């Protein structure tokens, strides 16, 4: 009996302990639940922070992408500026002795030692770099006549901006966007140099390509000379006895001007610049010109046809004709003073136009 009561009494104590343990465990569980709830709230805050952080990262990524695109564009421009495909030309302004026709040479001012200077042929929309080296004893400059370029390239020259001192060089860089016929020469402040031979053709080819079968370019000019010896001394202001003006086509006076060779049926485009100080009436016998462009402006319908086209000083004219009249013809100025050398014909602005297989009689 005592044993059973003892056992029963022990069981009650153990039960009390178990209840206390249970209550303790219940409190711990409740506290754990509260802590878990608090931890869940912190997790939500951390998740929201992570979302905001990711949003910032995305914005930074977008900004970096924009900056990288801009940097890539600048790098591409830099590569383009250094691209070997860039049309780069070098003009050397220097004195030279030029033979204008057999037995007649003259002291001239030139680009690269010749009259006219080298023709500069470029593509529409492509980067062009022209470096002018001054090997004269006086300052010089450069103008791209008729071409629309930035002020830094074509504006009135001044110190460190287009005036090139002796033994110095200056780079003109631009992108021509107007196809057509142009020419280059010193600026108005140095136009006496132009009168002594400093000029050349600049042709901007259209993206669509040429439309004629054959192209002929002519730069008409005039040089003042003194005396009558085979070697002349040129001066744009010379008024000494025996002084005169010699008219040239591409730096030569007739009879030294090469003939124009044609094939029957060809469509010919004639590009002419008048760098002379007076008007030139140009006539092609046996054919009619179609006036395509004057001074950079295309002639729209109705087309204009002329057998004689007069170019005023600095005019640029593009003409076309069809080679449909076989024979030997003349292309010359209608003025005797422009088509003779010291009164002797042929001279000055005059040349032969002939079809293949036909020769001139002697």
Spell out where 200-315 has E strands: 200-205, 214-225, 231-233, 244-249, 260-262, 267-274, 280-284, 289-294, 297-298, 304-306, 308-311
- Cα→Cα distances 47→43, 50, 60, 126, 232, Å: 6, 5, 20, 55, 93
pLDDT of residue 154: 81
Instruction: Indicate the burial class of 279 (C-beta count within 10 angstroms; 0-12, 13-18, 19 or more).
Output: middle
pLDDT of residue 229: 44
Collapsed DSSP state (helix, strand, coil) of residue 248: strand
Tell me the C-alpha distance between 98 and 47, whole Å.
86
Residue 180 tokens read as 């057509």
Q: Residue 204: beta bridge partners?
A: 122, 180
pLDDT of residue 185: 96
Q: Residue 252: beta bridge partners?
A: 249
Tell me the C-alpha distance between 110 and 91, whole Å.
9
**For the whole model, what pTM was predicted?**
0.73
| Dihedrals phi, psi of 207, to nearest 5 degrees | -65, -30
Across 292-313, b (16+ Cβ under 10 Å) vs e yields bbbbbeeeeeeeeeeeebebee
pLDDT of residue 156: 79
What contacts 296, CB < 8 A, 6 or more positions away? 146, 178, 180, 181, 182, 316
Q: Nearest 5 degrees, angle CA 275-CA 246-CA 116? A: 45
Domains, the chain, ordered by start: 85-208 (2.60.40.420), 210-362 (2.60.40.420)
Residue 292 tokens read as 């395509």
Tracing tokens 């370029």 back to the chain, one arrives at 149
Q: What does the pLDDT profile of the chain (362 residues) look like in tens digits?
A: 444 444 444 455 666 666 666 666 666 666 655 555 555 556 677 777 777 777 767 766 666 665 565 555 455 455 445 555 778 999 999 999 999 999 889 999 999 999 999 999 998 989 999 999 999 999 999 999 999 888 888 877 777 677 899 999 999 999 999 999 999 999 988 989 999 999 999 999 988 766 789 999 999 999 887 654 455 555 444 444 446 789 999 999 999 999 999 999 999 999 999 999 999 999 999 999 999 999 988 776 677 899 999 999 999 999 999 999 999 999 999 999 999 988 888 999 999 999 987 665 54
Tell me the C-alpha distance between 120 and 182, whole Å.
10
Count of CB atoms within 10 A of residue 265's CB? 10
- Cα→Cα distances 10→4, 24, 139, Å: 10, 21, 124
280-284 vs 328-333, strand pairing mode: antiparallel
Q: Are 91 and 132 in contact (CB under 8 A)?
A: yes
The secondary structure of residue 195, as a DSSP letter, is T
**Per-position DSSP letters for 288-337, written without gaps between them:** -EEEEEETTEE--SSPEEESEEEE-TT-EEEEEEE--S-SEEEEEESSGG
pLDDT of residue 5: 42
């Amino acid at each position: 009996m005592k044993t059973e009561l003892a056992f029963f009494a022990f069981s009650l104590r153990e039960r009390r302990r178990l209840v206390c343990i249970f209550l303790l465990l219940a409190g711990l569980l409740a506290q754990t639940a509260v802590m878990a709830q608090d931890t869940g709230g912190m997790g939500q805050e951390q998740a929201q922070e992570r979302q905001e952080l990711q949003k910032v990262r995305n914005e930074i990524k977008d900004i970096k992408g924009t900056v990288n695109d801009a940097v890539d564009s600048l790098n591409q421009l830099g590569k383009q500026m250094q691209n070997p495909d860039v049309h780069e030309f070098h003009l050397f302004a220097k004195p030279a002795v030029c033979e204008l026709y057999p037995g007649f040479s003259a002291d001239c001012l030139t680009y690269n030692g010749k009259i006219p200077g080298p023709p500069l042929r470029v593509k529409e929309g492509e980067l062009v770099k022209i470096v002018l080296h001054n090997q004269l004893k006086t300052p010089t400059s450069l103008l791209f006549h008729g071409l629309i370029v930035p002020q830094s390239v074509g504006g009135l020259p001044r110190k460190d901006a287009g005036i090139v001192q002796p033994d110095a060089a200056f780079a003109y860089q631009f992108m021509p966007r107007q196809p057509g016929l142009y020419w280059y020469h010193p600026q108005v402040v140095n136009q006496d140099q132009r009168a002594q031979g400093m000029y050349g053709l600049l042709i901007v080819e259209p993206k669509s390509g040429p439309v004629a079968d054959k192209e002929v370019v002519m730069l008409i000019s005039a040089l003042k000379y003194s005396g009558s010896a085979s070697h002349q001394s040129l001066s744009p202001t010379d008024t000494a006895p025996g002084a005169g003006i010699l008219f040239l086509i591409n730096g030569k006076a007739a009879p030294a001007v090469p003939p124009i060779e044609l094939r029957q049926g060809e469509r010919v485009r004639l590009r002419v610049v008048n760098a002379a100080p007076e008007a030139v009436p140009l006539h092609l016998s046996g054919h009619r010109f179609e006036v395509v462009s004057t001074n950079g402006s295309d002639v729209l319908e109705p087309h204009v046809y002329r057998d004689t086209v007069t170019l005023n000083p600095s005019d640029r004219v593009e003409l076309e004709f069809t080679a449909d009249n076989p024979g030997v013809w003349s292309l010359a100025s209608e003025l005797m003073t422009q088509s003779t050398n010291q009164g002797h014909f042929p001279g000055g602005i005059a040349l032969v136009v002939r079809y293949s297989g036909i020769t001139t009689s002697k």
